[in-house]
Structure 1
Amino acid sequence: MTAIANQKAWTIPGPSPLPLVGRTVNTINFAKDSIGYSSELFKTYGKVASIVAGGGTNLYSAASDCPGSVIAYGPEIVRQVATQTHIYHKAPLSGTLYRYKDISERTKPLKNYGVGLFGVNDETHLQQRKLMMPAFHHQQLHSYRDDMVAITQSEIEQIKMNEPCEINQFMKRLTLRIATKSLFGEDVTQKDQSAGSLLQEILNIQISPFTKLLPLDLPGFSFHRYLNYLSLFETQMKGIIAEKKAKTTPDSDVLSMLIKARYEDTGHPLTEDELIAHTGVLFLAGHETTANALTWTLLLLSQHPQVCNDLLDELDSTLHGDSPSVKQLQQLPLLERVIKESLRVITSVPWNGRVTSQTTELGGYLLPKGTEVFVSIYHTHHLSDIYRDPEAFNPNRWENINPSVYEYNPFSAGPRLCLGAAFAMMEIKIVLAMLLQRFRWEYLPVQKIDRNGFIAIKPKFGMQMKVCPQDREFVRGVGCVEGNVREMVKLPS
């Protein structure tokens, strides 16, 4: 009855559902290309729109009576959603699959997977966030630098010169190793089935539409495999936690820091379930998103030879071919501007998802309790009244502008600002500095560059680049980029 009443109160404009297939096609179109689909809706309906008129869609919320899905953008929208955290709640990253957590013994791992800080709100969120902050304090971040450098160097040594390299796969492997080493203290190359590689398999199965459409725990179904991997991950994590607790001298990885942490009011440690939930969600939130950010940045640099030349001048004059120290990372202003501009123009995490905990108003519309709200970071980053010529990749614009956290927020804003933002920025800087000094990355026009994904945006068909010695021939490979990436950024013909 609640869902029916909410739909009757649904006033947010959107496209009408198609006959017979109803809202399914609208939902699929949004999931397939959320940026392209939402761009059309924003043009037609303004800065707040419904994925389908009348509501009735459910992509993110685990509640069974979700009244519908709303998309919105703009600094004022960002500010309202980011700061009113008592109204705009987060939900587990497993999304609609989370509702199956109590069905059987085999679905119990869903209680921990993709939860962590994403599955708690209000005072509980503040308490647990405070507990986790020491693991990402700037002094602690310094301890992760050596692993980032060592892993990047080992990947560099495996690169075959003058041959094609699939960049997104390369970056995913590199960031997977960094994530598992920093979070769990293990390197995926040293184990056949690390916690990190298991999480990657879980994520791959989760994004398959068949997993959500047919959540059947029967052999041959993707949901069955999904639960198998969740069980393996829980078992392995319990083993890792037990090993770390038994050590007389704690390791310096994030999990070890969380094991040492204590609640301020009670002095109690995090439970085993909380440890599993927090480390898992940190991996999910930070691994593939960083890989995609690095992939898009290399593409943009490959198509802007002058920027690439100037950046290499800066790297050479400061680093002289060496890997950067933490102090030197602060002495590379153009590298900082290049990354900021890349995260602006092709926002690797384009949406900030929330669920309303009560009836509220957004952009002049009444949102029923339980409404999914997807705030577009991407479209906010492309507002021409904030960013002149917004589709241009222009790192130098950052010398003259200083947007607010609600105008530029690749890592969200407010009390839920990404805990790992500084970690991600340090990782991206180190990887780029090392790769660009050693190699020239020449774009190969063997595939269309179409965006793909909903939570994180990556090249749909991959991205091939030729790995060349760093000869500064940056004009090679410029042009010939095809695909809907051209809707997002201006590229040379």
Structure 2
Amino acid sequence: MKLPNGPQISPLAQMVRWIANPMSFMETCAKSYGDIFTIRLDKNLPPLVMVSNPQALQQILTNDTKALEAPGDLNQVFESLVGKHSVFTLSGAEHQRQRQLLMPPFHGERMRNYSQVITDVTQKVISQYQIGKPFNIRSATQAITLRVIMQAVFGLHEGTRAEKLQQFLGELLEKASSRLLVALLYFPTLQRDFGPINFWGKHIRRQQEADQLIYEEIRERREQPHSSGTDILSLLMAARDEVGQPMTDEELRDELMTLLAAGHETTATALAWALYWIYKLPSVRQKLLQELDSLGDDPDPSIIFKLPYLNAVCSETLRIYPVGMLTFPRKVVRTPLSLGGYELEPGTVLLGSIYLTHQREDIYPEPKQFKPERFLERQFSAYEYLPFGGGARRCIGLAFAQLEMKLALAQILSSKELELVNKGEVRPKRRGLVTGPDRPIEMVVTSQRQVKSPILQTTTV
């Protein structure tokens, strides 16, 4: 079988580059080998064919040939965090069942229930920062997204368990963002106690402490269901599959961790990037404020959600440095697959590179420039622009993430005058299994903003 060309350095050297700086590694490969190339990260595992051609991505993600599967066992790197019953790690009918149980809370009218939570939490967090005192904007956006998840997903607003769980989960995700933990995830043989150097053991103990609190909450909810039942945990506990079966405690825990892992770090990073670009580029900030200030008193969240320039800013933020670099892997099964001029044999693993696709000069002229107008001037296909992945494993929380991003940005911009402390360039780097800024983005509140038309009336959190 002839695979696409790729780097000839050893698999170990490729793995080191992949862990240290995946964006640079992908760009170097694309420059040398084009929009389909092969990388080898482990001599004992199949090579990975990486694709950034929209036509090839469409073929992979729509699975028209039935020659591809998205087996959960290829996502075992996530298992230590989200468990064996997550939509990330399941395959086939089990994956489809979990996905169907998870989808209802993220659609339709139920989304409106989360709007006030997002706005209130954002207002409370951003109001804590004093005028003239610099702060890391990513710390602020992490506080926003974690607290939103605690309230909208777990249904926990206050109390000892809420405080402990928020602390444990915050620490767990912060430590999971280190390059060391990523290395341990990619090298399972290192996932053990090394005496004084016991990073993995500490990670597992942190996970167990969080799990204990999650299971306690699930047990209490089964005995005394929440009367409102609008948080996602309550909705998942009430959900039934086609044969009338609910999720088990283990399935609920794993899906809650999946929503946390997929919805906290990613949205916090996207918000931090958006604020960086908005305050780095005065013209972007001016246009955005003009659009927000044009709203009437107490506009409906759905109006904010549909604002064209706000949408363009969020879309360009997710394009230029997508938080998720790759689509979930697909494996060729049963019969060979013709892709990009190659005949790929069964067993070949394919990865769509979201990052490289978003950096294509032929689709996005001057791709390193932040230009929201791109998304006002033309419509991009689902295979040219795919920050939430695509196909059967497209992110379930897409609408929730977009709503949170837009409402949080609207609230921050409308209530505070901010400035970047350092307007120097910030580049993306690996942060755990996703990407993030390569240095802290420090901002400072210069004054309260006087707005005649508040975005949303806030209430006590």
Asked if Structure 1 and Structure 2 have the same fold, meaning a TM-score greater than 0.5 normalized by the shorter chain, the answer is: yes
Distance apart, 1:398 and its partner CA: 2.1
2:313 is aligned with 1:338: yes
Distance apart, 1:267 and its partner CA: 0.6
Q: CA 1:183–1:43 in 2, change beyond 3 Å: closer, same or farther?
A: same
The share of aligned pairs that are identical, in percent, is 28
1:178 aligns to what?
148
Tell me the amino acid that sits aligned with residue 91 of structure 2: N
2:322 is aligned with 1:347: yes
Q: CA 1:144–1:471 in 2, change beyond 3 Å: closer, same or farther?
A: closer
On the 8 A contact 1:188/1:196 being kept in 2, the answer is: no
2:456 aligns to what?
none
After superposing the two structures, state which structure 1 stretch, 121-130 or 427-436, moved more.
121-130
Deviations 1:27-66 (A, max 9, x none): 1112221111111100101111122xxx3528xxxxxx52
List runs of 5+ in structure 1 lacking aligned partners. Answer: 1-8, 59-64, 99-109, 473-493
1:356 aligns to what SS in structure 2? strand
1:23 aligns to what?
11
Q: CA 1:144–1:190 in 2, change beyond 3 Å: closer, same or farther?
A: farther
From 175, 192, 195, give the equivalent of 1:216: 192
2:42 is aligned with 1:57: yes
Q: CA 1:432–1:393 in 2, change beyond 3 Å: closer, same or farther?
A: same
1:254 aligns to what?
232
For residues 111 and 457 of structure 1, what CA distance do their matches in structure 2 show?
Answer: 17
Distance apart, 1:15 and its partner CA: 1.6
Deviations 1:195-234 (A, max 9, x none): 4543443344444436345211465411111221222222
2:51 is aligned with 1:72: yes
2:108 is aligned with 1:134: no
For residues 148 and 119 of structure 2, what CA distance do their matches in structure 1 show?
Answer: 9
Deviations 1:57-108 (A, max 9, x none): 28xxxxxx5212332212123212222287241537974474xxxxxxxxxx
2:65 is aligned with 1:89: no
2:458 aligns to what?
none
For residues 325 and 416 of structure 1, what CA distance do their matches in structure 2 show?
Answer: 31
Q: After TM superposition, list the pairs within 5 Å mapping 1:231-380 onto structure 2.
A: 231-248=208-225, 249=227, 251-264=229-242, 266-318=243-295, 325-330=300-305, 332-356=307-331, 358=333, 360-367=337-344, 369-380=346-357
On the 8 A contact 1:381/1:387 being kept in 2, the answer is: yes
Tell me the amino acid that sits aligned with residue 57 of structure 1: D
Q: CA 1:83–1:464 in 2, change beyond 3 Å: closer, same or farther?
A: same
1:104 aligns to what?
none
On the 8 A contact 2:88/2:258 being kept in 1, the answer is: yes
Deviations 1:328-371 (A, max 9, x none): 32452211111112111221222113141526444333545554
1:483 aligns to what?
none
Q: After TM superposition, list the pairs within 5 Å mapping 1:140-159 onto structure 2.
A: 140-159=110-129
List runs of 5+ in structure 2 lacking aligned partners. Answer: 451-461
* Structure 1 residue runs of 4 or more that deviate by more than 6 Å after TM superposition: none
Q: CA 1:286–1:92 in 2, change beyond 3 Å: closer, same or farther?
A: farther
1:61 aligns to what?
none
1:234 aligns to what SS in structure 2? helix
| Superposition CA RMSD, Å | 2.7
1:485 aligns to what?
none
Q: CA 1:56–1:461 in 2, change beyond 3 Å: closer, same or farther?
A: closer
Deviations 1:244-283 (A, max 9, x none): 112252531111101000011x111111111111111111
2:365 is aligned with 1:388: yes
For residues 438 and 456 of structure 1, what CA distance do their matches in structure 2 show?
Answer: 30
Distance apart, 1:432 and its partner CA: 0.5
Tell me the amino acid that sits aligned with residue 261 of structure 1: A
Deviations 1:94-125 (A, max 9, x none): 74474xxxxxxxxxxx4952751111223322
Q: CA 1:299–1:28 in 2, change beyond 3 Å: closer, same or farther?
A: same
Tell me the amino acid that sits aligned with residue 81 of structure 1: I
Tell me the amino acid that sits aligned with residue 6 of structure 2: G
Q: CA 1:93–1:300 in 2, change beyond 3 Å: closer, same or farther?
A: farther
Deviations 1:281-325 (A, max 9, x none): 1111111110111111111111221121111011112055x6x53
1:186 aligns to what SS in structure 2? coil
From 142, 155, 165, give the equivalent of 2:135: 165
**Number of matched pairs:** 437
2:5 aligns to what?
13
Q: After TM superposition, list the pairs within 5 Å mapping 1:103-114 onto structure 2.
A: 110=80, 113=83
For residues 371 and 160 of structure 1, what CA distance do their matches in structure 2 show?
Answer: 54
For residues 86 and 254 of structure 1, what CA distance do their matches in structure 2 show?
Answer: 35
Tell me the amino acid that sits aligned with residue 198 of structure 1: F
1:5 aligns to what?
none
Give the structure-1-normalised TM-score: 0.81
Tell me the amino acid that sits aligned with residue 87 of structure 1: L
From 34, 39, 47, give the equivalent of 2:27: 39
2:328 aligns to what SS in structure 1? strand
